């Protein structure tokens, strides 16, 4: 669609934002036309999040102006942004799990006849929108009972309910199966055709090629350029993002003719946080020198599987062996298991600790880091700085508080800590979620190093392309069971996508 003659729905001019010691945005110019899907690309720490938080009223710019439909505006809060027709679907959903879908949609809206709350008009509007956009959502269903993909649609429905004219989508396909992502792209294109301006944030270059009309690339707080993704090659976009060539394809691998079973799971069953079945009689073996990828739509038992293996969740039946040793509780032997949890903020890091403190959370009490009961900070700092160099963690120093690092560098701290003890089994759950290409490449290299030295990796991810690129074998999970176990070289995206949605027909095509 040609938007050259139209007034810009959004124009951000000379946006600059400073934090202590950091220039997050430096004279950024960013423009989106009405009816356009405009992609926003950049590494973690490039300034994307800060720019969108300014647009959504969570931060105020130190310099620059924002224009909506040709008029200069000041956006002092998210409420002010909503009143101006700006809506955002955050990467981490902003839903109240104990409320129903309808209650979440109307939450924050003024009551028509206060103090009474009449939900019936809202219910009718809810059903009207779900019919119009072909969304299969029941207004009376509690959010905690909704699959993660439906929660994504509910967030979009909230914006439609408020008639947002400028829509920001932050990593919207992170929790979707391939077929669900295709449906999302259709909806995004329809929203744009209705005259809405769409800002589509993603680190997946192929998605940009499919859905965006223009892509603006940020690096180190600056605009590198704005290009047509259908003309620019993915390698060119990657180089614009990172400033160098990036390689995410399969790498040459060592082979191990005599493989050992490093992880053996038999008959594993467990409950989720709401005491409902999460895993059902699951069997799995991972051998030395092997990466086993776990594919599946988020919420099908992957998190519970990782927590059972790591000892963070009790299982109701079955057994787990790591290198022949039974697991029944937290694994205290660092040489057995390295664990990169799904949520680095809740489980992987102590954000108020320094980088060096987080790197030595598991080993600070051991020699030579503790002698005669006293922590040897000089030894810790010396080793921490070596790890920072080895794993290319971007930080001003080892004594910097981890909270101030970008998401990608926080993840590198977690992975570096877990790898530093050379574990027999490396267990990773969504290790690249929300990371940019440069950080993804670093994490992939780290996991391949475990495989290539003869360790084992269980790689849980909703990112199907990277599961296929990294894995030797791929298992597909659906409702707590393994739907299929495939050799990676023989795997087919469509077949795996069908298995992720629980379609039995796809199982019959697996050799």
How do the domains of the chain map onto residue ranges?
8-242, 261-507
Query: Is the domain defined by 261-507 classed in CATH 3.40.50.300?
Result: yes
Model confidence over 272-317: pLDDT tens digits? 987 889 999 999 999 999 999 999 888 899 999 999 999 999 999 9
Please say whether the structural domain 8-242 has been given the CATH code 3.40.50.300: yes
CA-based nearest residue to 270, from 280, 261, 258: 280
**CB contact at 8 A, 87 and 164:** yes
CA distance 423 to 200: 39
On the question of pLDDT at 192 being above 90, the answer is: yes
| Residue pLDDT, tens place only, 318-363 | 999 999 999 887 777 778 899 999 888 888 999 999 999 999 988 8
- H/E run at residue 194: none
- On whether the CB atoms of residues 157 and 129 are closer than 8 A, the answer is yes
Which 3 state secondary structure label does DSSP give 84?
coil
Mean pLDDT of the region 401-407 = 86
Q: Quick: pLDDT tens for 417-433.
A: 998 888 999 999 988 87
Mean pLDDT throughout 18-27? 86
- Rounded to the nearest 5°, which phi and psi values hold at 385? -65, -35
What the block records as the tokens of 301 is 């038992």
Q: How far apart are CA 399 and CA 382, in angstroms?
A: 11
Mean pLDDT over 107-128 rounds to 84
More confident residue, 386 or 254: 386
Give the DSSP letter of residue 340.
E
User: Fold match between 8-242 and 261-507?
Assistant: yes
How many Cα atoms are found within 13 Å in the side-chain-facing hemisphere of 125? 16
- Do residues 263 and 279 lie in contact, with contact meaning Cβ atoms separated by under 8 Å? no
Point out the least confidently predicted range of 377-381, 412-416, 491-495: 491-495
The alpha carbon torsion through 297, 302, 304, 307 (nearest 10 deg) reads: -140
The answer to whether residue 224 scores a pLDDT higher than 90 is: yes
Give the single-character DSSP code of 171. Answer: S
Q: What is the 3-state secondary structure (H, E, C) of 102-159?
A: HHHHHCCCCCCECCECCCHHHHHHHHHHHHHCCCCCCCCCEHHHCCHHHHHHHHHHHH
> Cis link prior to 115 (omega < 30° from 0)?
yes
Strands, sheet with 197-201, edge to edge from the N-terminal-most edge strand:
86-89, 166-170, 197-201, 37-42, 214-219, 222-227
């Amino acid at each position: 669609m040609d938007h050259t003659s139209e007034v810009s729905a959004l124009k951000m001019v000379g946006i600059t934002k400073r934090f202590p010691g950091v220039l997050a945005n430096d004279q950024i110019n960013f423009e989106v036309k009405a009816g356009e899907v405009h992609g926003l690309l950049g590494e973690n720490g490039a300034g994307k999040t800060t720019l969108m938080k300014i647009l959504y009223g969570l931060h105020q710019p130190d310099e620059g102006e924002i224009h909506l439909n040709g008029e200069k505006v000041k956006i002092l809060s998210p409420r002010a942004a909503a009143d101006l027709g700006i809506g955002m679907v955050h990467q981490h959903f902003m839903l109240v799990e104990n409320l129903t879908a309808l209650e979440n949609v109307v939450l924050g809206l003024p009551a028509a006849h206060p103090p009474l709350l009449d939900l019936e008009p809202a219910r009718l509007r809810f059903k009207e929108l779900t019919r119009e956009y072909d969304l299969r959502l029941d207004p009376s269903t509690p959010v905690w009972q909704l699959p993660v993909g439906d929660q994504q649609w509910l967030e979009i429905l909230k914006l439609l309910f408020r008639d947002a004219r400028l829509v920001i989508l932050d990593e919207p396909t992170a929790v979707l199966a391939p077929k669900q992502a295709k449906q999302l792209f259709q909806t995004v294109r329809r929203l744009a055709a209705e005259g809405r301006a769409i800002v589509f944030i993603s680190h997946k270059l192929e998605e940009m090629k499919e859905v965006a009309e223009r892509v603006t690339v940020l690096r180190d707080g600056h605009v590198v350029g704005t290009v047509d993704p259908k003309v620019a090659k993915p390698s060119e976009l990657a180089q614009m993002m990172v400033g160098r060539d990036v390689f995410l394809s399969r790498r040459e691998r060592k082979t191990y003719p005599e493989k050992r079973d490093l992880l053996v799971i038999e008959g594993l069953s467990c409950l989720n946080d709401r005491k409902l079945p999460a895993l059902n009689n699951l069997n799995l073996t991972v051998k030395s020198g092997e990466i086993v990828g776990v594919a599946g739509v988020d919420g099908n038992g992957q998190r519970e599987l990782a927590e059972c293996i790591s000892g963070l969740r009790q299982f109701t039946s079955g057994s787990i062996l790591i290198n022949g040793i039974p697991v029944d509780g937290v694994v205290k032997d660092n040489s057995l298991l390295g664990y990169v949890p799904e949520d680095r903020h809740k489980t992987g890091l102590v954000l108020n600790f320094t980088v060096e403190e987080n790197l030595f959370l598991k080993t600070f009490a051991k020699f030579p880091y503790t002698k005669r009961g006293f922590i040897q900070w000089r030894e810790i700092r010396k080793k921490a700085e070596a790890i920072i160099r080895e794993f290319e963690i971007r930080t001003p120093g080892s004594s910097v508080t981890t909270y101030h690092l970008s998401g990608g560098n926080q993840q590198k701290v977690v992975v570096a800590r877990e790898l530093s003890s050379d574990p027999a089994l490396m267990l990773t759950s969504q290790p690249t979620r929300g990371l940019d290409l440069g950080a993804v490449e670093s994490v992939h290299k780290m996991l391949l190093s475990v495989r290539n030295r003869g360790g084992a990796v269980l790689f849980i991810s909703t990112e199907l392309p990277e599961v296929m690129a990294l894995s030797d074998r791929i298992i597909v999970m659906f409702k707590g069971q393994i739907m299929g176990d495939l050799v990676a070289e023989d795997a087919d995206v469509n077949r795996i996508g069908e298995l992720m949605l629980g379609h039995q027909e796809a199982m019959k095509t697996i050799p």
